[in-house]
Amino acid sequence: MSGHRHCLMGLMPEQITETLGLKPFQGRQIFHWIHRKGVVDFDAMTNLAKPLRERLKEECVAQDMRIVNVQVSEDGGAAKVLIELRDGERVESVLLRDGDRVTLCLSSQAGCPLNCAFCATGADGFRRNLDAGEIAGQALLLLAAGEVPREVTPNIVCMGMGEPFLNYDNLVAAIHLLMHPEGLEIGARRITVSTVGVVEGIARFAAEDWQVRLSISLHAANEELRSQLVPYNKKDSLARLRDSVRDYGAKTGRQITIEWTLLDGVNDTPKDVRELLAFLRGLKAFVNLIPWNPVPGMPFLSSTRANCMNFLQGLEQGGVKATLRRENGGDIAAACGQLRAQHEPPTPV
């Protein structure tokens, strides 16, 4: 793969310019080819002078990761891709289609250190943080694999493998790449970052000068159950999390989304609804209920349809807006935090 060559995927136009000692317009042109047009073959960058193309081929690669497997859900609404990084680590990303709407779910870490009880990624342990190019580059690979037309602006959710706020600086750099006017130019409001509740990250995020959305994977609203489901709760408790979410709302004026994966008999009862309503009191929040996709070997069952509906109604009666996510791509385990490579070991190519 790239060896000692520069990988340009993670660089802003001015960084390309600086790294290669180019003129500013050349850095912008190269960035535009890679991030707007999705072109990673330097020979195809036809508005660059031939000697520059030759030099780029010698010294750089535009991208140093590749898709090694694609699984498409039976309903065609979801495609999960397995991506191999330069060092052989693998991450997954998902493309979801709903009519004209395209959503790309990106990973921020290879593996995850947080070990949530219902999550296949956590069960596999942590490998390493992704760099900015590896996070943003997933979007380009997904758009190409899904043959998404250029005029469609995708939505981005950082909800794949990993806890984004444990890789904060790279995450923020990746978002700037995705929003760049010479690149995909994705509006901040189309981008959502999902955290289990890393309080320090929420505070930093509140101070960013942008409209990127925040989502909290809550799953339980009492300390004991949450510590079981999301062990990170032992570090930043629900009480601390609630304070930080309140501060975030006060500072930004923005609504947050609460993600709640419904597990049969564990967090889908009327008591759980009451606890969630109490947690949300005074917060500007919207709740996204996610039917759990069963993971073999995990001690949970999916909530029944009736319990899902009762939970939804309970929230609505309590004055909280909520939706029950449809089980889009459930057959390929495309839900948040449940990504894991379910594939044969790689064959060398």
Of the pair 48, 116, the CB lying nearest ligand SF4 is at 116
- Give me the phi and psi of 286, to 5 degrees please: -125, 140
Q: Which stretch binds ligand SF4 (CB under 6 A): 8-16, 86-94, 159-167, 290-298?
A: 159-167
- Which H or E run contains 349? none
Q: Does 163 bind ligand SF4 (CB under 6 A)?
A: yes
Residue 160 C-beta: closest distance to ligand SF4, Å: 8
Q: Which stretch binds ligand SF4 (CB under 6 A): 1-9, 72-80, 97-105, 110-118?
A: 110-118
Of 60, 84, 92, 112, which residue is the catalytic one? 92
Identify the residue among 65, 79, 173, 196 touching ligand SF4 (CB under 6 A): 196
- Give me the phi and psi of 313, to 5 degrees please: -65, -40
Identify the residue among 161, 171, 262, 308 touching ligand SF4 (CB under 6 A): 161
Identify the residue among 48, 94, 116, 258 touching ligand SF4 (CB under 6 A): 116
Name which of residues 267 to 306 contact ligand SF4 (CB under 6 A). none
Q: Provide Rg for the chain, Cα atoms.
A: 21
Of 112, 116, 158, 336, which residue is the catalytic one? 336
* CA–CA gap between residue 70 and residue 48 (Å, rounded): 33
Record the tokens describing residue 64, joined without a space.
Answer: 């140093």
- Give me the phi and psi of 302, to 5 degrees please: -70, 145
* CA–CA gap between residue 182 and residue 28 (Å, rounded): 7
* CA–CA gap between residue 168 and residue 166 (Å, rounded): 6
Identify the residue among 7, 8, 45, 119 touching ligand SF4 (CB under 6 A): 119
The DSSP line for 218-241 is: ---SSHHHHHHH-GGGGTS-HHHH
Q: What angle do CA 117, 118, 122 make, to 5 degrees?
A: 70
Total residues at interface with ligand SF4 (CB under 6 A): 12
Does the active-site annotation cover 208? no
Residue 166 C-beta: closest distance to ligand SF4, Å: 9
List of residues 6+ apart from 36 with CB closer than 8 A:
182, 183, 184, 185
Q: Does 156 bind ligand SF4 (CB under 6 A)?
A: no
Q: Which stretch binds ligand SF4 (CB under 6 A): 66-74, 86-94, 113-121, 301-309?
A: 113-121
List of residues 6+ apart from 253 with CB closer than 8 A:
none
Of the pair 186, 196, the CB lying nearest ligand SF4 is at 196
Q: How many residues does the chain have?
A: 349
Q: Which stretch binds ligand SF4 (CB under 6 A): 43-51, 67-75, 108-116, 275-283?
A: 108-116
Q: Which stretch binds ligand SF4 (CB under 6 A): 55-63, 85-93, 156-164, 247-255?
A: 156-164
Q: How far is CA 43 from the centre of its chain?
A: 32
Does the active-site annotation cover 92? yes
| 210: Cα within 13 Å, side-chain hemisphere | 20
Residue 348 C-beta: closest distance to ligand SF4, Å: 29
* CA–CA gap between residue 1 and residue 85 (Å, rounded): 9
Q: Per-residue contact track with ligand SF4, 217 to 256, x per CB under 6 A?
A: ----------------------------------------
Q: Kindly list the residues in this chain that would bind ligand SF4 in the complex (CB under 6 A).
A: 112, 114-116, 119, 121-122, 161-163, 196, 337
Which residues belong to the active site?
A: 92, 336
